[in-house]
Each structure stands twice: as structure tokens, then as C-alpha cells.
């Protein structure tokens, strides 16, 4: 139990430090987006949501990739730490896919005149949300045990197959079906801000994923310690 407390205390200091660092970076990113990045000539102010919408989508894809990786390795090695990675990655990814489904319709309202249309990218993004929501609900209410973990791993692998559909949807469907623009012209300042925002959200996703994974592992360690005490 002392070892568990020491690990928690040591990691807690790093959690606070890294969290405050990321928070500072997000404030700096907000300044760059609102002040440094120039207004886009066609869409104007609403275009600035692009600097959030695309990075959070990338962060969701990254988290779901770790779910895919953890699920695949868990099915091969039967090591529960990879199942923990898959769980942590899904919960992290859900934060970002929800942000995608919030920022996307806001952008669509000012660009297309409506919050939602069942065009390929929006539809596949919504399907991605539903698939991983099913994963979260399965882990929350499906009980414990290796059988549920294996079933969840298969679901995670299948769900990840939708990620390429989301990414390539605007290229695979005809322009009259896919409303998303195939490319957006960006000035050098816009590109700089975009890649900075992309980097910050990538770090945020990795930070949240690691912290959630660490908490899950601590929970397992605590349960194992408790069971050993009860068994004595």
C-alpha cells in the first residue's frame, strides 16, 4: 500500500506540472488563433474554428489508434495492461470526437446554412462516435472478466475501420455528395498557427490518455493489493 501511495504522490506532481503547462499552451494557442492568424477572405471569422476542429479530429483519431493497437495486442498476448490502454484511449478519444461533433455543425451552420446534413464525412464521424460509445457502455455496464475484455477488443478493432472512412470520405465520394471542401488555401501565418494548434492538441491527447491509463493501472494495483490483504 505504501508503494501505491508513493507512486500516486510522485505522479501527481508531474500531472499538475504538465497540466498547467498544457493549459498555458492552450491560452497561447487561443491568442495566436484570434490575433495572429489573419481572417480568411471567404469565410471570415468563422474560419478560425478550423484551428480547433481539425486538430481535435486528429486527436480523436490518434486516441482511437491507441485503442486499436491496445485491443490487437491484448487479443494476442492476453496482457491486461493492453486492455487498460485500450480503455484509456477510448475514453480519451470520446472527448475529442464529441468536440468534433460540436465544432463541425457550428462551422457548417455558417458555411452551408444548416447545422447538420447527412453528407459522408459528418455521417461517418457520427458513426465513429456511436461505435466507440458502444465500447464505453460495454466496459461500463458489461461487467468485468476476460470474456468482456475480448469482446470489447474486437469491437475496438472493428470501430477503428471507420477512421479511414472519415478521413478519406471527401475524396471517395463525388463532390455533389460530399459537401466538405477538398482543400483549403492557407497563408503562411495560417499554416503556422494550424500546425502549432495541431501539436498542442496532440500533446493534450497523449497527456489525457497517459493519465487515464495510469489511473486505471493504479485501480488494478489497488484491487490486487486489497485482495491479497483479504486472502491473508
Map out the domains of the chain with their CATH numbers: 2-231 (1.20.120)
Give tens-digit pLDDT for 135-161.
999 999 988 888 999 999 999 999 999
**Minimal CA–CA distance to 36: which of 193, 160, 197, 213?**
193
For residue 39 the three cell numbers come to 481572417
The answer to whether the predicted template modeling score (pTM) of the entire model surpasses 0.85 is: yes
Contact 152, 85 (CB under 8 A): no
Which of 78, 83, 64 shows the shortest CA–CA distance to 139?
83
Specify whether the CB–CB gap between 63 and 90 falls below 8 A.
Answer: yes
- The percentage of the chain sitting over the pLDDT mark of 90, rounded to a whole number, equals 57
Instruction: Tell me how far apart the 2 most distant CA atoms of the chain are, in Å.
Output: 72
Instruction: Provide the grid cell at 120.
Output: 459522408
Rg value, the chain, Cα: 20
Q: Cα(first)–Cα(last) distance of the chain, in Å?
A: 15
- Tens place of pLDDT per residue across the chain (232 aa): 555 555 555 567 788 899 999 999 999 999 999 999 888 777 778 889 999 999 999 999 999 999 999 999 999 999 999 999 999 999 999 999 999 999 988 888 887 778 888 878 888 999 999 999 999 999 999 888 889 999 999 999 999 999 999 988 776 655 545 555 555 667 889 899 999 999 999 999 999 999 999 999 888 787 767 766 665 5
Q: What are phi and psi of 44, to 5 degrees?
A: 75, -140
Of 170, 198, 197, give the one whose Cα is nearest residue 184: 170
Amino acid at each position: 500500500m505504501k508503494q501505491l501511495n508513493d507512486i500516486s504522490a510522485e505522479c501527481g506532481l508531474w500531472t499538475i506540472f504538465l497540466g498547467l503547462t498544457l493549459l498555458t499552451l492552450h491560452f497561447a494557442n487561443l491568442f495566436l488563433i484570434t490575433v495572429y492568424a489573419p481572417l480568411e477572405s471567404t469565410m471570415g471569422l468563422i474560419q478560425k474554428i478550423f484551428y480547433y476542429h481539425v486538430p481535435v479530429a486528429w486527436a480523436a483519431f490518434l486516441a482511437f489508434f491507441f485503442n486499436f493497437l491496445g485491443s490487437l495486442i491484448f487479443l494476442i498476448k492476453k496482457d491486461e495492461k493492453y486492455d487498460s490502454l485500450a480503455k484509456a484511449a477510448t475514453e480519451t478519444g470520446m472527448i475529442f470526437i464529441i468536440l468534433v461533433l460540436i465544432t463541425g455543425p457550428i462551422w457548417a451552420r455558417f458555411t452551408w446554412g444548416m447545422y447538420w446534413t447527412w453528407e459522408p464525412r459528418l455521417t461517418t464521424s457520427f458513426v465513429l462516435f456511436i461505435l466507440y460509445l458502444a465500447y464505453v457502455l460495454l466496459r461500463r455496464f458489461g461487467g468485468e472478466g476476460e470474456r468482456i475484455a475480448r469482446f470489447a477488443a474486437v469491437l475496438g478493432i472493428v470501430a477503428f475501420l471507420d477512421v479511414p472512412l472519415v478521413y478519406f470520405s471527401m475524396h471517395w465520394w463525388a463532390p455533389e455528395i460530399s459537401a466538405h471542401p477538398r482543400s483549403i488555401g492557407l497563408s503562411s501565418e495560417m499554416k503556422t498557427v494550424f500546425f502549432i494548434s495541431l501539436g498542442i492538441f496532440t500533446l493534450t491527447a497523449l497527456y489525457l490518455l497517459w493519465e487515464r491509463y495510469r489511473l486505471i493501472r493504479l485501480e488494478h494495483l489497488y484491487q490486487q493489493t486489497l485482495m491479497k490483504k483479504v486472502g491473508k
